[in-house]
Structure formats: C-alpha cells, structure tokens
C-alpha cells in the first residue's frame, strides 16, 4: 500500500529500488536539504546501502543505521524512518528538525540509539518512547521540549543513557526515574524545573556513572541515599541551591573522576577521607559557604583542576598540590588563605590557569609556574607576596593575563615580561617594583592594558610604546618616571586612558594629540611638564577627564577647550596667563584654575589686580561701584525670594524633610533649583523605577531628574523609622563610575521619603523612543552599528571593569540614551537594585528583574539575575536594531522578538527579519550583528558570550555563525569549563 502511494507521489521512481530505499526516498522528500547532504540518495540504485549516512547489515543488507548528523537538514521529524524494521541507530544530531516528536516514534521497534540533540523540537516528550524495548541511549539535548517528564519514563527497560539537557522542562525531577535500574547516565541539566529536592529514589540507580543535574533548581540537602551510587564517575550538582554539608560518604565513590558542586549554598568543610578518591581529577566546590582548611589529602591526589574560589577556606595551601602531574587549573581566589605558595608549583604540572587573588598569601611567587610553557593566566591580586617577579615568567610566551596588583613585590621586572607576544593585560600596580619600562615592550603586540601605577619605576617612557596598536589603558601614575612624553604616543589610536600623574615627566606635550579619538581620561597632574596647552586637546571627541594641574604649563588656556564636556577639569597650579575662555570664566570653574597668578577672568578672587590694571579713571570706578551695589541688592532680593520659595516647596512635601545632597561632580546648581523644576509639564519619561523630568537650570544647562517611586509606602509600612538600607552607598558606587558610554549621575538628593537622581541630560532621548517611533528610519545602519558598540562597551565596563562588578538588571532600548552626535550611553544601571533595597515594601517584578520582552528565560526558574541576564537583554536590543521591531508585538502572537526572529528566519529567510528601512548594501554586516544578537539570547546562559567577548565580536566581526546554527554554539558537556569566572570575579 505504502509502496503504491509512493509510486503515485513519485512516478519517476524506478521500481528496482528496494522497499527500504523507497522509505528513505520519502524521508528525503520531507526534509529541506540546502547543502545537498542527501544528493547521492539516488532512486536508480538497487538499495540504499551505499547512500550517505546509511549502513546496512552485512548479511541481510537491511538498513540498521541512519546517521544524518550535522547535515543542516530542516523540517519535521521524518516518521518514515521508523518503517525500517531493523533500524537500531538513528541520529539527527545538530540539524534543524522542528515540530513535535510524534508518539509513533515507538514504531522504531528495534531502536537502540536515538540522538536528536541540538534541533528545534517542541512540545512534550513522547510518552510512548519506553515502549521501544531495546532502547539504550536517548539524547535529546538542546531542543525545546516542555512540560513534565512523562510518568511512563519510569518504565524504560534497558535504558542506559537519558539526556534531556538544555530543554524547557518544567515540573520537577520525578522520583520514578529511580526505577530505571539500567541507567548509567542521567543528564537533566539546565531545565527550568520548579524548586524541589533531589528525589531520594535516585539512590536506587546503582549502575549510574554520570549524574549531571546542573542548574535544575534543586533545593535542600543532598540526600544520603545517593551514597549507594558506588559506580559514579561524574557527580555534578552545580548551580543549584543545595544546602548543608558536602556529605562525607562521597569519599566512598571509588571510581569518581569529577565532582562539581559549585554555586550552591553548601556549608562546613571538605570531608575527611578524600585520599580514598584516587581517580579524582576535577574538584570544584567554588561559590559556596565552605570553611576550614584545604586538606592535605585532597592536594595529594593527582588532580587536574582544583577550584575552591569564593568560599571561606583558611590556612595554607598544602605543598603536595605541586606534585600533581595533571594540574592545569588552580583557582583559589577570594578565601582567607595564608602562608607561602608551594615553591614547586608548576614544575611538575601543565599549569594553565592560576588564580589565588584576594587571600593573604605571603612569601615569594613560585619560580617555576611556567616551567611547562603553557601558563596563560596568573592572577595574584591583593595578597602579601614579596620578592622579585620570577625570571621564568619573562620567558613564558603563552601568558595572556598577568595581574599582580597590590602585593609587596620589589626589584626590577624581568625584561621579557614587557614583551610577551600574547599578553593582553599586565597589571603590576601597587608594588615596590623598580627599573624602567623596557624598549622591547613594542613586541607585546596584543597588550591592551599596561598598568604599573604606584611603584618606583624610573627612567623615561620608551618611544617604542607608541607601537602598541591595541593599547587602551596606560596607567603609570605615582612612579619616578622622567624625560618627556615620546611623540610616538599619539599613534595609540585605541588609547582610552592615559594616567601618568605624580611622576617627574618634563618637556612639552607631543604634537598631533588630536589622533586620540578614543581618549577618555588624560591625567598628567603633578609632573614637570611645560610649554603651551595644545589647542588640539579641544578636539578630542570623548575626553571627559582632564587634569594637567601641578605642572609648568604656560601661555593661554586655549579657547578650543570649550568644546570639551568635562567632568574633571583641572589646570590649577601652572604658569598660565591671559584671559579665560568665556565659558570657563565662571565661579563654579574657579577651582580648575587656582594657582595661576597671571590668569584672568571675571571670577571673584581669581584675578585681584585686574580692575586696577584696566581702570581708566574714576568715572569708570564710580560706575562699577554703582552697578556692583545694585547687583548686590538685586541678588539679595532674588536670594530671599528663592529661599522663601524653596522653603515653601519643601514644606509642602514633608514637614520634617531635610534634603541631603550627595554630589560626585562639581555642580553648577543647587538641590533647590532642581526641586523647582519638578513640574508635571517637565516630565519626559516614566518607568518602573520612577518618573523622569527635564530640568533647565538657571545657567542654561539641562539635567534629567529621576524621582524614585515607592518611597512613602515603605515609610508607612515600617512606621516611618526605617534605616536607610544602602541607598547612599549604592548611589555612591554609581556616581563614581566614569565611562564614555555610561550616562553620568551628577548627584542624588534625598529626604527620608523622597529620592532624586540627577543625571546628565541626553538631548536625543532613548534608542527605544527613536527606533520605534516614526523617526526610526533616521537611524541608518552605520549609526545603529555604532550604537550597538557604544552600549556594549558601557555594559562591558560595568561587568568587567568595576569592582565589584555591576549587573545592570534592566538593559533595554529605552535605557540606552543618545547624545548630540547619537553616541549611545547606558542609563539606569544598578538602579533597579538600589530601588529593590530601598522600597522593600513593594515587590514589583518589573523593578527587580527587568522589562517584558528582555527577560532571560532562566529568570523564570532561578529568580536570580546576573551578568548573563544582562547579556540576554542586550541581545534583544541588538535584534531590535536589526529588525526595527519592538521586543513584544501583537503581530508576533505568543512569541517574543527572539522567537519571532528564529522562526521567521527558518521559515521565510533572513530578508524577512531585517528592517526594510536599512540599506541592503550593509546586509553582510547586519546579518552578523543579528547572529551576535541570537548568540546573546541563547536559552542556556552558558552559551552566551561575556560582554567583553560580545564587544570584541561586534568590533571584529571575526565570528561567522549561521543564524540557524547559533543555538548550537557553546560547549555542552559535563566537562565544560566556563572561563568567564576569571574575568567577572577577579577583574
């Protein structure tokens, strides 16, 4: 019958092809095969046994295996494969199979292996699967299966491997899985299960070798019944909320190779008896609340990787750790460890990552850390290490990051350390190092950060430094550097920060500094520099921190400096003379020019001899006095009126309120002036956290004032006497942040029941408003692309360069603001957290976790936000830039923008998602940004790149992913190693 049907459908089929071949032709017909993977499935052959992906039994010539992995096939699951009666192996690993998995899959009656990993299958798991009696291996990783695990799954008869990692399963991990006694691997990681304990019944799986339940929302203690799992090789319960101690019975797991319990809430110490685990290679209990010593018996094992960071471990690092011939990773940062580092460390081991930052280690840095020439990262920040930096590190070409900040290191730096070819960061700040910067530094071609402040470096800055094309930051303040700034420094096109204050540099500023297009901060204070301040400084587009104080600069203050938008501006204590540029001839800039006796401006006290010098007679003097007196009187009246109004205004708000102003910048306005502008007429926006007003101040400047919600409510709830819960501290952190892509917080004002945040005003409003209004077409692709990079850099700064790192928590296009030139700045970062603590009375979801359409899927089950949630939201913004669509749109139906983009690309192609306003000549670039957006919005947080990486990708476009395969990015194995921890945790 089926044969007849096929014959009717495909009349060109030649009847010589056997029946199994005909079934497979039907499979081929149902699949979209853009790469021609199935092109040799020729219907003129007698049998399909020679076709790509097909294998037959050598005796019966019947098909027993269909392996179509990595074939870029799309379409619904081709149920016709299940007509192949002898089929025992079926794999569609890493394709684009969509739709649901039909119940008829059970017709594949002889199947032993079923691999459908990394596809787009939706719907519930087919409850009929256990009806296949011989099924041993089921891998459904990386699909979109949802709902509960069917009860029938307790009835698998021979199943050895069950992997449903990275789907959308809800409900909880059911106890009936404990009935599958043949099971060797139970891999259910990264599903949005409800919070629930590990079912004790899983202890009945006594054949289990791998238990991989990372990110399953597990709570409670690790049940003692698991002690029966004597065959475990890999025990992985990381990223859950488990409590209680690490059970002592794990020391009975005599086959165990890997134990992963990081990121839980475990307490107590590492159990006694670890020496019994002779096969253990990887042990990771980081990010818990563990304490006590690091046991000698643990370190005596031939471990490959030992991660204990972010706990409260105490005491010394046992020297035996240095004897392991396998050790490649040792991360102990953020504990309370002390004593010396084992001197043999690295000599016997292929050490790659070494991080002991934020402890109290003393003594010398081990000499042989890089003896095996594979060391990439050395992080020793914040310890008490002394002595010289070992010579051996100077020959260690594999190094990419060196951070030794804030120790007691002394002596000269090994010459080779300056010139390591792959080094991107050399941070030696806060030691007692001596000697000079070596000329060979020009060979460190990857160097982006050279941080050597607060040492005793001498000599001049070598000209060769100007060859470091990637250099973003050069901080060498508080040293004894001499000589002049080499002219080659102006070649550093990427330079964002040049801080050499407090040295003995002399000579003039180099010619050609207008090429510092990315320079944000220039601090050359307290040196012996001389000559004129070059007018070109005024043309630096993003300079906002300029400190040249305490030098011998002479001549006039160039008019061009008026073009700068500075939040730090200090030219005091120089030999400047002449008139001040009009913009700066104001009282509130006074401190910027102090100690320049020959400098003149109309600032009271700055130029005392001016009137005398210019006076041309008594008539003039009389007139001046008259005008002055009139002015004083007028000012008096204004002052009186203004005080009275402010008084009334404040009184209106709250009888007892007193305003407390916390300011982070030199301000040209007062809190009362701002209060006067908080009229409904001036509202420019309103969000989850508060209302935003535009306030135009008397000096003509505009600021944006955010009045936070939900304050009086808290006062009510707590009887009016609640202590200030960290608002000020938090705001202070935010106020200190200075980055060209982050909106500046000028100040905050607070009373007990009202809080205001005063920001710089961004004239072009928010990206969201512009993009989704009728003016959306104004933003052409180059502008959008630049906005993406700007905003990405801002976020990357918050994540990677702030200590502690700051999670934005509400990344969205409405929080990306645009300045005059449509440069983008991130706004409102961390404010959600401030408010969360501040208005505890009201728990609004939108305040805590971001905005609709931008919320990462894992939030639904972890209720925790971290950097990865920001990255998801940023991905949504990228998709908005590419599509011009809103994150949520009635037209999408149930879907959000992310899902809409994925399905539309699949069904209709790329062109259907790209904003039609965009010029098609940019299509290549647009589709790359789209792919980065999709990568950022991966369902699994571990698949999302770090913000630093995102910025890199946006800038380089070095990564080519096909939109369709983006979902399949990332390493999904129980042995996955997440390298972002070094960046996020100990930047």
Ligand X SMILES: *[C@@H]1O[C@H](CO)[C@@H](O)[C@H](O)[C@H]1NC(C)=O
Residues tagged active-site: 810
Q: Does 909 bind ligand X (CB under 6 A)?
A: no
Distances (CA, A) of 91 to 94, 131, 137, 140, 566: 9, 19, 11, 10, 61
- Please name which of 690, 710, 684, 679 lies closest in space to residue 766, comparing C-alpha atoms: 684
| Smallest separation (angstroms) from ligand X to the CB of 152 | 25
Helix (H) or strand (E) holding 684: strand 683-686
The pairing of strands 660-663 and 598-600 is unpaired
Of 40-48, 171-179, 762-770, 861-869, the segment contacting ligand X by CB under 6 A is 40-48
Interatomic CA distance for residues 505 and 479, integer angstroms: 10
Q: Does 49 bind ligand X (CB under 6 A)?
A: yes
Looking at the Cβ atoms of 49 and 585, the one nearer to ligand X is 49
| Smallest separation (angstroms) from ligand X to the CB of 81 | 17
Looking at the Cβ atoms of 60 and 618, the one nearer to ligand X is 60
Residues 165-204 that bind ligand X (CB under 6 A): none
Q: Does 47 bind ligand X (CB under 6 A)?
A: yes
Interior angle at CA 917, CA 913 and CA 918, nearest 5: 75
Looking at the Cβ atoms of 74 and 90, the one nearer to ligand X is 74
Looking at the Cβ atoms of 95 and 689, the one nearer to ligand X is 95
Residues 6+ apart with CB under 8 A from 139: 93, 114, 115, 116, 117, 161, 163
Burial of residue 874, with CB atoms counted within 10 A of its CB: 0-12 exposed, 13-18 middle, 19 or more buried: buried
Interatomic CA distance for residues 242 and 220, integer angstroms: 5
| Smallest separation (angstroms) from ligand X to the CB of 98 | 4
Interatomic CA distance for residues 549 and 421, integer angstroms: 36
Looking at the Cβ atoms of 442 and 937, the one nearer to ligand X is 937
Of 8-16, 43-51, 140-148, 810-818, the segment contacting ligand X by CB under 6 A is 43-51
Looking at the Cβ atoms of 78 and 794, the one nearer to ligand X is 78
SS (H, E, C) 612-632: HHHCCCHHHHHHHHHHHHHHH
Looking at the Cβ atoms of 47 and 300, the one nearer to ligand X is 47
Ligand-binding annotation for 707, yes or no, is yes
Joined together, the tokens standing for residue 404 give 């030794």
Looking at the Cβ atoms of 46 and 716, the one nearer to ligand X is 46
Ramachandran bin of 461, using left for φ above 0, alpha for ψ from -120 to 50, beta for the remaining angles:
beta
Looking at the Cβ atoms of 118 and 448, the one nearer to ligand X is 118
Looking at the Cβ atoms of 47 and 514, the one nearer to ligand X is 47
Of 286-294, 423-431, 498-506, 903-911, the segment contacting ligand X by CB under 6 A is 903-911
- Please name which of 813, 854, 863, 857 lies closest in space to residue 836, comparing C-alpha atoms: 863
| Smallest separation (angstroms) from ligand X to the CB of 78 | 12
State whether residue 227 is helix, strand or coil: helix
How many residues does this entry show for the chain? 987
CB atoms inside a 10 Å sphere around CB 272:
11
| Smallest separation (angstroms) from ligand X to the CB of 61 | 7
The pairing of strands 824-826 and 816-818 is antiparallel
**Torsion, Cα of 908, 914, 919, 924 (10° steps):** -80
Interatomic CA distance for residues 383 and 966, integer angstroms: 41
- Please name which of 421, 472, 479, 471 lies closest in space to residue 452, comparing C-alpha atoms: 479
**Alpha helix segments (H runs only) across 591-736:** 610-614, 618-653, 671-675, 711-717, 727-735
Of 46-54, 156-164, 302-310, 545-553, the segment contacting ligand X by CB under 6 A is 46-54
Residues 6+ apart with CB under 8 A from 283: 258, 259, 298, 303, 305, 306, 307
Joined together, the tokens standing for residue 963 give 């939109």
State whether residue 767 is helix, strand or coil: helix
Looking at the Cβ atoms of 207 and 903, the one nearer to ligand X is 903
Question: 544 near 564, Cβ under 8 Å?
Answer: yes
Phi first, then psi: give them for residue 878, nearest 5 degrees: -60, -40
Q: Does 32 bind ligand X (CB under 6 A)?
A: yes
Of 347-355, 487-495, 506-514, 900-908, the segment contacting ligand X by CB under 6 A is 900-908
Q: Does 50 bind ligand X (CB under 6 A)?
A: yes
Total residues in contact with ligand X, by rule CB under 6 A: 13
| Smallest separation (angstroms) from ligand X to the CB of 905 | 10
Phi first, then psi: give them for residue 642, nearest 5 degrees: -70, -45
Q: Does 40 bind ligand X (CB under 6 A)?
A: no
DSSP 8-state class, residue 34: T
Stretch 74-113: interaction string toward ligand X, x if CB under 6 A:
xx----------------------xx--------------
Stretch 408-437: interaction string toward ligand X, x if CB under 6 A:
------------------------------
**Alpha helix segments (H runs only) across 654-748:** 671-675, 711-717, 727-735
Of 428-436, 736-744, 813-821, 902-910, the segment contacting ligand X by CB under 6 A is 902-910
Helix (H) or strand (E) holding 771: helix 767-771
State the helix-helix crossing angle for 867-883 and 781-796, rounded to 10 degrees: 170
Residues 460-479 that bind ligand X (CB under 6 A): none
State whether residue 934 is helix, strand or coil: helix
Q: Which of 33, 45, 297, 769 binds ligand X (CB under 6 A)?
A: 45
Distances (CA, A) of 743 to 97, 761, 804, 824: 45, 9, 19, 9
Q: Give the sign of the dihedral formed by CA 685, CA 691, CA 696, CA 702.
A: negative
Looking at the Cβ atoms of 49 and 972, the one nearer to ligand X is 49
Phi first, then psi: give them for residue 234, nearest 5 degrees: -130, 120
| Smallest separation (angstroms) from ligand X to the CB of 32 | 4
Q: Which of 297, 364, 676, 906 binds ligand X (CB under 6 A)?
A: 906
| Smallest separation (angstroms) from ligand X to the CB of 3 | 19
Question: 882 near 915, Cβ under 8 Å?
Answer: yes
Q: Which of 35, 46, 469, 979 binds ligand X (CB under 6 A)?
A: 46
Residues 530-569 that bind ligand X (CB under 6 A): none
| Smallest separation (angstroms) from ligand X to the CB of 892 | 14
Of 42-50, 64-72, 256-264, 485-493, the segment contacting ligand X by CB under 6 A is 42-50
Known binding positions:
707
Residues that bind ligand X (CB under 6 A): 32, 45-47, 49-50, 74-75, 98-99, 903, 906-907
Binding site feature residues for ATP: 707
């Amino acid at each position: 019958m089926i044969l007849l049907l096929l014959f009717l459908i495909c009349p060109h089929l030649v009847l010589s092809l056997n029946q199994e071949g005909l079934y497979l032709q039907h499979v081929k017909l149902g699949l979209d095969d853009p790469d021609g993977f199935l092109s040799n499935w020729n219907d003129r052959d007698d049998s399909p046994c020679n076709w790509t992906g097909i294998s037959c039994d050598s005796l019966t010539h019947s098909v027993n295996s269909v392996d179509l992995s990595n074939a870029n096939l799309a379409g619904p699951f081709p149920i016709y494969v299940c007509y192949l009666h002898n089929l025992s192996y079926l794999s569609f690993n890493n394709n684009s199979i969509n739709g649901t998995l039909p119940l008829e899959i059970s017709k594949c009656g002889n199947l032993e292996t079923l691999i459908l990993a990394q596809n787009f299958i939706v719907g519930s798991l087919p409850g009929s699967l256990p009806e296949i009696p011989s099924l041993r291996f089921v891998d459904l990783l990386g699909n979109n299966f949802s709902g509960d695990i069917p009860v029938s799954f307790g009835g698998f008869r021979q199943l050895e491997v069950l992997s449903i990692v990275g789907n959308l399963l809800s409900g909880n991990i059911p106890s009936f899985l404990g009935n599958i006694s043949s099971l060797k691997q139970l891999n259910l990681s990264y599903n949005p299960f409800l919070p629930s304990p590990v079912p004790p019944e899983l202890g009945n799986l006594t054949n289990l070798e791998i238990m991989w339940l990372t990110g399953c929302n597990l709570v409670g203690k690790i049940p003692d019944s698991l002690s029966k799992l004597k065959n475990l090789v890999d025990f992985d319960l990381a990223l859950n909320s488990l409590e209680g101690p690490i059970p002592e019975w794990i020391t009975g797991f005599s086959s165990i190779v890997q134990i992963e319990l990081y990121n839980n809430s475990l307490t107590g110490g590492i159990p006694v008896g670890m020496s019994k685990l002779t096969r253990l290679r990887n042990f990771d209990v980081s990010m818990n609340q563990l304490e006590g010593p690091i046991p000698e018996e643990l370190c005596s094992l031939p471990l490959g990787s030992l991660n204990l960071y972010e706990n409260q471990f105490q005491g010394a690092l046992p020297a035996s750790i240095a004897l392991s011939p396998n050790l490649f990773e040792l991360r102990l940062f953020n504990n309370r460890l002390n004593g010396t580092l084992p001197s043999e460390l690295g000599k016997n081991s292929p050490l790659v990552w070494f991080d002991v930052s934020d402890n109290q280690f003393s003594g010398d840095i081990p000499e042989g850390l890089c003896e095996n020439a594979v060391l990439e990262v050395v992080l020793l920040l914040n310890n008490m290490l002394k002595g010289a930096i070992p010579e051996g590190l100077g020959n260690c070409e594999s190094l990419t990051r060196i951070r030794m900040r804030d120790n007691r290191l002394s002596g000269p730096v090994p010459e080779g350390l300056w010139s390591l070819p792959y080094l991107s960061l050399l941070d030696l700040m806060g030691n007692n190092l001596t000697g000079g910067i070596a000329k060979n530094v020009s060979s460190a071609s990857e160097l982006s950060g050279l941080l050597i402040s607060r040492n005793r470096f001498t000599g001049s800055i070598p000209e060769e430094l100007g060859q470091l094309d990637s250099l973003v930051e050069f901080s060498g303040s508080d040293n004894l550097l001499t000589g002049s700034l080499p002219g080659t420094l102006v070649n550093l096109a990427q330079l964002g920060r040049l801080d050499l204050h407090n040295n003995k540099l002399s000579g003039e500023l180099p010619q050609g500094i207008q090429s510092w297009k990315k320079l944000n901060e220039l601090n050359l204070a307290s040196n012996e520099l001389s000559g004129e301040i070059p007018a070109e400084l005024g043309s630096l587009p993003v300079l906002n921190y300029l400190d040249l104080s305490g030098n011998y600069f002479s001549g006039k203050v160039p008019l061009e400096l008026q073009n700068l938008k500075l939040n730090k501006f200090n030219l005091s204590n120089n030999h400047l003379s002449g008139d001040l540029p009009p913009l700066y001839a104001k009282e509130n800039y006074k401190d910027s020019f102090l100690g320049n006796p020959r400098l003149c401006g109309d600032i009271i006290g700055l130029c005392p001899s001016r009137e005398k010098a210019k006076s041309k007679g008594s008539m003039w003097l009389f007139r001046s006095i008259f005008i002055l007196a009139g002015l004083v009187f007028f000012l008096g009246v204004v002052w009186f009126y203004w005080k009275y109004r402010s008084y009334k205004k404040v009184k209106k708000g709250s009888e007892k309120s007193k305003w407390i102003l916390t300011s982070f910048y030199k301000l040209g306005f007062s809190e009362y002036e701002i209060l006067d502008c908080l009229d409904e007429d001036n509202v420019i926006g309103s969000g989850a956290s508060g209302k935003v007003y535009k306030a135009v101040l008397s000096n003509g400047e505009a600021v944006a004032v955010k009045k936070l919600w939900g304050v009086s409510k808290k006062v009510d709830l707590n009887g009016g006497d609640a202590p200030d819960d960290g608002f000020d501290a938090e705001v202070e952190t935010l106020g200190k942040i200075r980055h060209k892509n982050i909106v500046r917080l000028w100040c905050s004002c607070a009373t007990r029941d009202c809080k205001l945040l005063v920001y710089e005003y961004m004239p072009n409003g928010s990206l969201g408003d512009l993009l989704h209004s009728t003016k959306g077409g104004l933003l052409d692709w180059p502008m959008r692309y630049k906005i993406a990079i700007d905003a990405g850099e801002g976020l990357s700064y918050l994540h990677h360069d702030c200590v502690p790192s700051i999670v934005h928590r509400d990344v969205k296009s409405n929080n990306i603001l645009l300045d005059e030139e449509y440069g983008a700045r991130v706004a409102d970062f961390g404010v959600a957290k401030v408010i969360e603590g501040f208005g505890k009375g009201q728990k609004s979801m939108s305040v805590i976790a971001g905005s609709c359409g931008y919320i990462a899927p894992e939030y639904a089950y972890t209720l925790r936000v971290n950097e990865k949630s920001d990255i998801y939201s940023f991905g949504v913004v990228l998709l908005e830039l590419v599509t011009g669509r809103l994150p949520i749109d009635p037209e999408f139906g149930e879907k959000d923008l992310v899902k809409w983009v994925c399905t539309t690309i699949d069904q209709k192609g790329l062109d259907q998602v790209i904003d039609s306003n965009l010029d098609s000549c940019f299509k290549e670039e647009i589709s790359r940004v789209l792919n980065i957006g999709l990568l950022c919005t991966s369902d699994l947080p571990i698949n999302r790149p770090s913000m630093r990486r995102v910025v890199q990708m946006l800038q380089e476009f070095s990564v080519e992913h096909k939109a369709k395969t983006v979902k399949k990015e990332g390493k999904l194995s129980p042995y996955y190693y997440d390298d972002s921890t070094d960046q996020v945790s100990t930047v």
